[in-house]
Structure 1
Amino acid sequence: MADLGVILGALISGVVHARRIADEESAAVAEHYKDNPLLSGMSIPRVRLPEVSINIPMLIEAQDEGEADQIADAETIKKAVGEELKNSLSREGVKMTAEELQRFDTAFAQQLKKVAVPSVYRSPREAIIRAAEDAYSETIKDKIVKASTLAAASRIVSNIRFSASGSALQKVGRAPRIGASVLTAEVKDKSSNENVSRLTLTLREEGMEWSVGQNDDGTMTRKLTPE
């Protein structure tokens, strides 16, 4: 028995791997054609599979309803984010009064009260990150932007996000899963018309390519974008 998600991932990964092997072979053929005077003027063969359909019989053998994330208490989150904020301000040379820091702390506490109770389908981590960002924007963002460079302000808010993410959960939950078997021998031995299921999967190819851009500070950023 295997996790159905792992089975689906293996099928998709296999198709992607086949595409990579095919492209590498096309590149090797291109090099061979280039060096052969009789072949250099001919087009390079390249096979693409825009769509692959798969139909597999399988047995559903188990179900795990999963477990929701356990959110950390508000004081723990506030303390972690507050300490990171102070450290980030110190590193960037930005001075902030105790009253201004307290306003951020109060606003963050109010935002944390709005975070929904987590479930197996909804993690609170992103909501807590947004709560920290909203408190930052409401209270201290303008002063930090005026008192430092744009890059420094960006680093400060990035550190706040990272701290909020790292302190958000007391325990990471477990996603729901389905246990299934697709091995031919097992399906043949255990299945009947009443209990066998069929997995029908259609995979459509969408290519990506590297896009390179230059940042304001001169560094380069590489991103994968759709073809």
Structure 2
Amino acid sequence: MNPLSSLPPWATRVIAVQLVVVLTLAIVGLAISVPFLVQLARTAPELTTAAGVVQDAPETIEQVERIDGNVQDVVPSVLEVVEQIPLVGDQLTQLLEVATGLSSSAAGIEVAAGTLATLSDEIGPIREQIAALQAQLAALEAIGAPLDSLAVSAEPLPGQLADLTTAAVTIASLVDVVPQLLAAIERMEQHVANLDRKTGPVLLPDLTGVRR
């Protein structure tokens, strides 16, 4: 026997209307929830990852605390290093100035070496000429005494005349040598002066007395 047959007609209609309303609400709710269900399905991996992160959160917090402690230990040392940076910068500036000075000195020494190499070809002949001049001056000094006695005596002796002739020949030979020697000395002095202006004084024999 159908239980609805015992109900009055209006009750049956009310139940039918309620069923229709419930089904309609269910369909509407399902239609509304479908996009959210799709999005929920798409975000399922992310939810899994988030769940894993939540599970690992205590360990992560402990790691962060350890890192924070390490940072607090390192920060004072870093601050000390930062304070030393200006001092190191000044020292680096001084080292750079020293390096620049050494570079300039090296360039000057290189130029001086080239100049000295050029002068070495001229210094050899000049030394030879100076040695010859010294020998001739020694010869002149040797005949100085006969010349003095000749100046005192009114009538020179034959030996004194021979010494006087030797002195005259020596002096005549010096007339040709001295200008060449002076020209060579002047050239060397010019080279040395140029070298002094570039690299500083260069110690060479004093030749001024020879010229006088």
- Normalising by the smaller structure, the TM-score range is under 0.3
Question: Whose RCO is larger (CA < 8 A, sep 6+)?
Answer: 1
Tell me the TM-score normalised to structure 1 length: 0.19
Greater strand share, structure number: 1
Greater helix share, structure number: 2
Give the number of the structure whose alpha-carbon radius of gyration is greater: 2
Tell me the TM-score normalised to structure 2 length: 0.20
